[in-house]
Structure 1
């Protein structure tokens, strides 16, 4: 292989490498020989860092000096469920400061679950002259000041995507800071802004950007103004509506229907806050070409949803509240044969009694009627092993399966048995399964199934499950490709963790909260595994003040080549030799 590598000119190899986009494949290429390492190093344009503390920015810059796009993730995934304390970390500032010097030609930054200050946004705005894309997902810490700096200074900006990001006082006044000469915007997502935006500034901006394809508005944009906005950008491919209710006025309905029909390329719809069902008919003429529909904020009854999805035969992606009910999912299964992704969210997750007629039957129906279904997130209140077996047999092509039974430790409602065999069928039949979330009454047996069959599983989320350490041992010893494991409220403890310590070095991270791992085991693991950061998160005070056998509140373990981080807050302790 090395001789073959030397027989190709570098320009040829660079061209070949440019067609390989998977990060894992690019990393494998660099291990073939020294010359391939050097070529791949210099021609790598995109870098993904799944944990901002796993490597230092200076190391990344030295390793890949010609990067144009970087994607960083900060806080653990469970931060989305308020399980990571405020002030834990995930600060992007050190990365921006390093890249301002090392990557002057950087064009794209994507951040997720990170703390992004106005100072960081201002540094981006003045440091990268060719900057084109800023994507902030579940980020916090910035205000209108930082966004105004981006708008005023990034003259070539094409993408500005604020997804569930920003502080409560964020508004749209910064939109007026885009220069009158600015015309390059292709995608704008301001759906997360909680306050009013300047509609006049927004309209002027849209008029100047003929290539705009994605526009996602926040709920402050009234329905009667959406028509005007759409007339200014008929080339839209994706639209997130603002508030979708007003007093029913015929002229508003007619204007909206005409404006939507004028968007001949429109394929994706989202938004629909406070939707008034009578206005849904305005989108019926374009339903046949819709491929994506996000109704996760739309309080619509099943009958209205049935009428809507029945007219969307090209739909590949649907996010919806459980108001769709089993009847609506039956209609989806009958009408949408190209459906690839389904997410059904709870409308009343804290209610003690069901408020909708959504059961396992709806998911079974979709699994039977939608042959291309690969990704599922499903919140419900009841499930059976028989239903899970049927779903597994119907959809062996499933790659992501996340089932969230709202009440913890809920058994098979027909037999009152654990749901072990049902989830066992999922991992046995779905050979390419990469992501799995478990719920319901589960014993160690389900983890034995997972360790035996889920050989391609990369991410596993577990809550209120298992009997003993044996469950965790099955997963860590059996899942060869596991990268991320997150566990809460399970009886897993020291023995399985220490016995599989070497496995943790092959993973990106392990999160455990409200489990049975002792402080003593955490110290021992940190001493044994110097390439791991073993972080104990405990808001009760120093763990040393309690017996070493006392379980820790939260444990976050991740591999790193950067050593212990320097921004540890007072409630986090890193376990090292001197712990």
Structure 2
């Protein structure tokens, strides 16, 4: 079906959707002239019902090859089925022009080759000194408290960050926050941190203008969030679901509730009036 497809020699932008085994050969003749590739985005495909029987997915093998061969990359966004510290280290070694890096680790494989990704994340951030945006969405155990501290320590140029399923304890979050002096926008997903630790960490980041936390160890009232109250700072709280309210983990701490949310941001207009009924505005009063 695709045997006669020809691509122009001066192609500047190229996108393929729902690509499977039968379509991969289309790009092979053209891939050799992509050593000047600047932007790469690989979306997940298994959300489409028609792709359920397709095999494959991007792994550390392909990510390493891209880093070695395409050294002018400025933007990488990829959903990966497997990842290693070595792959992240390759990006830090060869992709010196990178200013936007986003990686999501899918949960389709039971076993991941190399976790936690502490050393890989450190090597990537130390090597890619032009980064302005950084996203790392993993699975539980993907990044320890040590790795979270590395991210804070080496994120001096980053202004926007999204982290999911990272860290082990509140101490890791506090260590992370101590290094984020220039971070302006932070999003956290499905993390084990307590409400108090979140508030204390946010107070340590002086440049922060916006924070959204979705899924954490929340109280029913959000009382500890008031520790981060400041002038012109709006705090909006979505309480945990009734199903997890009062439930404790084995160590006696509240469970992580994926529905609990915190949204905090600077505003000269004061409290907004269009928030949904599920949201509780805490500050300003």
Q: Same fold (TM over 0.5)?
A: yes
**SS of equivalent to 1:451:** helix
Inter-CA distance 386–501: structure 2 relative to 1 (3 Å threshold) = closer
**SS of equivalent to 2:191:** coil
Q: How does 1:116-135 map to 2 (within 5 A)?
A: none
Instruction: Give the corresponding residue for 1:493.
Output: 194
Whole-Å separation in 2 of the counterparts to 1:401 and 1:500: 23
Inter-CA distance 511–546: structure 2 relative to 1 (3 Å threshold) = same
Q: How does 1:369-518 map to 2 (within 5 A)?
A: 369-407=69-107, 413=113, 416-438=114-136, 439-440=138-139, 441-503=142-204, 506-518=207-219
The structural deviation recorded for 1:508 is 2.5
Whole-Å separation in 1 of the counterparts to 2:271 and 2:97: 41
The structural deviation recorded for 1:343 is 0.6
- Structure 1 residue aligned with 2:11, among 264, 273, 290? 290
Whole-Å separation in 1 of the counterparts to 2:171 and 2:184: 20
**SS of equivalent to 2:9:** helix
The structural deviation recorded for 1:546 is 8.0
The count of residues paired between Structure 1 and Structure 2 equals: 267
Q: Deviations over 1:493-542 (max 9, x none)?
A: 234323234346632211111112431212x236x32321110124858x
The structural deviation recorded for 1:411 is 6.8
Instruction: Give the corresponding residue for 2:223.
Output: 520
Inter-CA distance 423–468: structure 2 relative to 1 (3 Å threshold) = same
Question: 566-575 or 469-478, which moves further after superposition?
Answer: 469-478
The structural deviation recorded for 1:349 is 4.8
C-alpha contact (below 8 Å) 2:36/2:70 kept by paired residues: yes
Q: Deviations over 1:13-49 (max 9, x none)?
A: xxxxxxxxxxxxxxxxxxxxxxxxxxxxxxxxxxxxx
Root-mean-square deviation over aligned CA pairs: 3.0
Q: Deviations over 1:140-162 (max 9, x none)?
A: xxxxxxxxxxxxxxxxxxxxxxx
The unaligned stretches of length 5 or more in structure 1 are: 1-275, 311-331
Q: How does 1:239-318 map to 2 (within 5 A)?
A: 277-278=2-3, 280-281=5-6, 284=7, 287-296=8-17, 301-307=23-29, 310=30
Inter-CA distance 359–408: structure 2 relative to 1 (3 Å threshold) = closer
The structural deviation recorded for 1:359 is 2.0
Whole-Å separation in 1 of the counterparts to 2:122 and 2:45: 29
The structural deviation recorded for 1:475 is 2.8
Whole-Å separation in 1 of the counterparts to 2:159 and 2:188: 14
Instruction: Give the corresponding residue for 2:282.
Output: 575
Inter-CA distance 290–460: structure 2 relative to 1 (3 Å threshold) = same
C-alpha contact (below 8 Å) 1:505/1:559 kept by paired residues: no
Whole-Å separation in 1 of the counterparts to 2:12 and 2:234: 43
State the TM-score, normalized to the length of structure 1.
Answer: 0.42
The unaligned stretches of length 5 or more in structure 2 are: 248-252
The structural deviation recorded for 1:482 is 0.8
Larger RCO: 1 or 2 (CA < 8 Å, sep 6+):
2
**SS of equivalent to 2:216:** coil
C-alpha contact (below 8 Å) 1:483/1:506 kept by paired residues: yes
Instruction: Give the corresponding residue for 1:341.
Output: 39
Inter-CA distance 410–391: structure 2 relative to 1 (3 Å threshold) = farther
Instruction: Give the corresponding residue for 1:566.
Output: 273
**SS of equivalent to 1:292:** coil
Whole-Å separation in 2 of the counterparts to 1:408 and 1:419: 18
Whole-Å separation in 1 of the counterparts to 2:86 and 2:195: 35
Structure 1 or 2: more helix by fraction = 1
C-alpha contact (below 8 Å) 1:437/1:460 kept by paired residues: yes
Inter-CA distance 354–474: structure 2 relative to 1 (3 Å threshold) = farther
